Structure 1
Amino acid sequence: MGHTQIESTANARVKEWASLLEKKHRDRQGKYTVEGVHLVQEALRSEADVECVAYDAALGVPAELKEDAQATGQIEWVAVSAAIVAKCTEARTPQPVFAVVRKSAAKIGDILRVENALVAVLDGVQDPGNVGTIIRAADAAGAAGVLIGRGSADIYNPKTVRSTMGSLFHLPIVEGDLTELLPQARAASAKVVSTSLQARQNCYEADYRGATWFVFGSEGSGVSPEVEAFVDESIIIPMPGQAESLNVAMAASVLLFEAVRQRLG
C-alpha cells in the first residue's frame, strides 16, 4: 500500500493509535498495537492481520524490517515523529517502531479440528506476564491452541503481548466462556485436566497422548468451581522441595512438556 508520513501528535489517526493502549478502545476497534522490531517482525512474518507499521521518520525503517517494507502488500508503512512513537507505545525505552494489528479471528473449531490436540486453557490467570509466558510455552510445546477464559489478563495488553515474545501470532488463541467451550472439547473426546494441591494422582502417571486440554487457574485460588465441574482428571505436580507451590506459568510449562515427552516417546 506504500508509504505515508504523519508529523503531528494531534492527527486523528495518531489519537486512534494512542487509544489502543486502553482495553475499551482495543475492544471497540478490534485492534491492538505491537511494539519494537522483534514483535513487529514476528507479526509480519506470521501473516498476522497487520494494518500498518509506523516508524521514526528521523531513523528510517529499522534495518531488520527493510525487506518487509519493500514487499508489496496491503500493509501501509507510516513515517512518524519520535513524539508520535512515544505517545502510541508503552515500553519505557520505546524501540522506534510499532504496528497496528487486527485481533485474531480464531474460533474453537480451529482447535477442535486438530487430532490429539494439546491445549492450554486459562481460567482467571490475572497476571499479564503469566498469561504471555503460558502462550509462549504452549507455542514452544506445539500446542494446537490456547483458550482464554473470563477473568484472565487481556491478551492484547502491551505487557501480555511483549511477554508472549511473538508466540501470540503462532497459534489460535480463543477468548470466551469456558463453561460453554469446555463441553465442546469433551464432546470431541478431549480429556480436560487440571492441577490441584489436593489431587491424588501424580502428573507423571497420567496419559497425555490423546487430545488433552490443561486448565490453569488463577494465581491465588486455582481453578474456579464452575470450570472444575468440566474437569475429567485432577493431578498434582510432585514437589519434594520446600516451596509450597509453583508459579502458574511454571506449572503450565511442566505439564505441557511432560505431554511433549510422552508424545515423543
Structure 2
Amino acid sequence: MHKHISSLHNPAIKRLLQLQEKSRTRKKEGLFIIEGRREISLALKGGYSIKEIYFNPVLLSAEEVQKLPVSERTEIVEISSEVYEKIAYRGSTEGVIAVAEAKDLSLKNVQLKNDQPLILIAEAPEKPGNIGALLRTADAAAVDAVFIANPRTDMFNPNIIRSSVGCVFTNQIAIGSTTEIIAFLKERKIGIFGAALQASVPYDTIDFTQASAIVVGTEATGLSEEWLENTTQNIIIPMQGEIDSMNVSVAAGILIFEANRQRRR
C-alpha cells in the first residue's frame, strides 16, 4: 500500500520544495527532483536510482504508476491535487514527480568507448535553457560525452532537466574546472577545437574524424584565455548577416553535426 499526503504543511512536501529550489539542499542530500513520465523513464534508463514517487491520481492512475520500472524499494506516495499544484514545476502536468539520487559527475567517472571520441564542451554556461538545448543537441548527435567547464549552476537544477527534456540523463556528462578538462583531453591526445574569432579557420576545413573536443564559450564573453592558449585550432562559423552573434546551442549544433557528417563518410 502507498501513503497518501493531502496537507501542504507535511514535512515531506516542504522537503520536496527545498530540493527543487535550493542547489545547496540538492548537494547536501545528494538528491534531486524529476517531473514527468518521460523524464523519469529516461533517468531509469540512464541508471539513476529513484527513491520516491509522488503522484496525483486525478492526473495519473495508480496502475500507470505501477508500470514505471522502479525498484520495489521505491516509496510511492499519493498526493492531492492541491499538493501536486504546489510542487509541480511546469504547467503541462503529467501528475508524477520523483526524488532521485544524484550521480557523481566528476571526470574520473568518464568512460570513452572508442579511440576517436567526439566530445562537446561548454565553458561556464549560465542559462539553464542554453544548457538544456546543448544537451538535446548532444543527444541528437550521439556524442561520446558532454563536459561542462566551470559550471555556474548544478546539473540537477529543475530548469536544466526540464529544458533538456530528460537529455541530462541520456548523455554522458562530466563537470570540472577548465584546467582539469584541458589536462584530461591532453592526456588522451584529443584535439581541442575552440569556437573563437582569434586565429581561427572555417569550421568545415577541420578533420573531425580524429579524436575531437569542440569547445564553446558564453555568448557574452566567448572562451577564456586558458582555453584559447590550449586549443589545437580555433574554428569559426562564417557569418553572412548583419550581426555576428549566434546562440551558443545553435553554434554547437552546427559544429557537432559537421563532425558527424565527416564521420559518416
Farther off after superposition, 37-46 or 161-170: 37-46
Partner of 2:177: 177
| 1:171 Cα offset (Å) | 2.1
| 1:72 Cα offset (Å) | 5.0
Does the aligned pair in 1 maintain the 2:160–2:168 contact within 8 Å?
A: no
How far apart are the structure 1 equivalents of 2:141 and 2:199? 24
| 1:255 Cα offset (Å) | 0.8
Does the aligned pair in 2 maintain the 1:126–1:219 contact within 8 Å?
A: no
How far apart are the structure 2 equivalents of 1:169 and 1:98? 16
Partner of 1:254: 254
The within-5 A match list for 1:57-68 is 57-61=57-61, 65-68=65-68
Q: Does 1:164 align with 2:140?
A: no
Does the aligned pair in 1 maintain the 2:49–2:100 contact within 8 Å?
A: yes
Q: Decide whether aligned partners of structure 1 residues 225 and 75 sit closer, same or farther in structure 2, where only a CA change above 3 A counts.
A: same
Partner of 2:35: 35
| 1:63 Cα offset (Å) | 7.2
The within-5 A match list for 1:1-265 is 3-21=2-20, 22-61=22-61, 65-68=65-68, 72-111=71-110, 113-115=112-114, 116-265=116-265
Does the aligned pair in 1 maintain the 2:59–2:94 contact within 8 Å?
A: no
**CA root-mean-square deviation:** 2.2
| TM-score after normalising by structure 2 | 0.90
Q: Decide whether aligned partners of structure 1 residues 75 and 229 sit closer, same or farther in structure 2, where only a CA change above 3 A counts.
A: farther
Fraction of identical pairs, as percent:
28
How far apart are the structure 2 equivalents of 1:56 and 1:193? 48
Farther off after superposition, 17-26 or 58-67: 58-67
Does the aligned pair in 2 maintain the 1:33–1:101 contact within 8 Å?
A: yes
| 1:243 Cα offset (Å) | 3.2
Does the aligned pair in 2 maintain the 1:52–1:99 contact within 8 Å?
A: yes
Runs of 4+ aligned residues of structure 1 deviating over 6 Å after TM superposition are none
| TM-score after normalising by structure 1 | 0.90
| 1:74 Cα offset (Å) | 3.2
User: Any idea what the Cα deviations from partners look like across 1:63-85, whole Å, max 9, x if unmatched?
Assistant: 7655226x653322211122322
Instruction: Kindly provide the amino acid, as one letter, of the partner of residue 196 in structure 1.
Output: A
Q: Decide whether aligned partners of structure 1 residues 241 and 17 sit closer, same or farther in structure 2, where only a CA change above 3 A counts.
A: same
| 1:110 Cα offset (Å) | 4.3
Instruction: Kindly provide the amino acid, as one letter, of the partner of residue 97 in structure 1.
Output: V
Instruction: Kindly provide the amino acid, as one letter, of the partner of residue 40 in structure 2.
Output: V
How far apart are the structure 1 equivalents of 2:58 and 2:120? 43
How far apart are the structure 2 equivalents of 1:174 and 1:151? 10
Q: Decide whether aligned partners of structure 1 residues 142 and 93 sit closer, same or farther in structure 2, where only a CA change above 3 A counts.
A: closer
Instruction: Kindly provide the amino acid, as one letter, of the partner of residue 170 in structure 1.
Output: T
How far apart are the structure 1 equivalents of 2:245 and 2:63? 44
Q: Decide whether aligned partners of structure 1 residues 31 and 263 sit closer, same or farther in structure 2, where only a CA change above 3 A counts.
A: same
| 1:97 Cα offset (Å) | 1.3
Gap regions ≥5 residues in structure 1: none
| 1:128 Cα offset (Å) | 0.8
| 1:189 Cα offset (Å) | 0.7
Q: Decide whether aligned partners of structure 1 residues 256 and 85 sit closer, same or farther in structure 2, where only a CA change above 3 A counts.
A: same
How far apart are the structure 1 equivalents of 2:174 and 2:108? 10
Count, aligned residues: 263
Q: Decide whether aligned partners of structure 1 residues 174 and 200 sit closer, same or farther in structure 2, where only a CA change above 3 A counts.
A: closer
How far apart are the structure 1 equivalents of 2:199 and 2:63? 52
SS in 1 for 2:110: helix
Gap regions ≥5 residues in structure 2: none
User: Any idea what the Cα deviations from partners look like across 1:181-236, whole Å, max 9, x if unmatched?
Assistant: 22111111111111112343110000111221111111200111133333221000
User: Any idea what the Cα deviations from partners look like across 1:87-116, whole Å, max 9, x if unmatched?
Assistant: 323224543211111112344244353321
Farther off after superposition, 169-178 or 144-153: 144-153
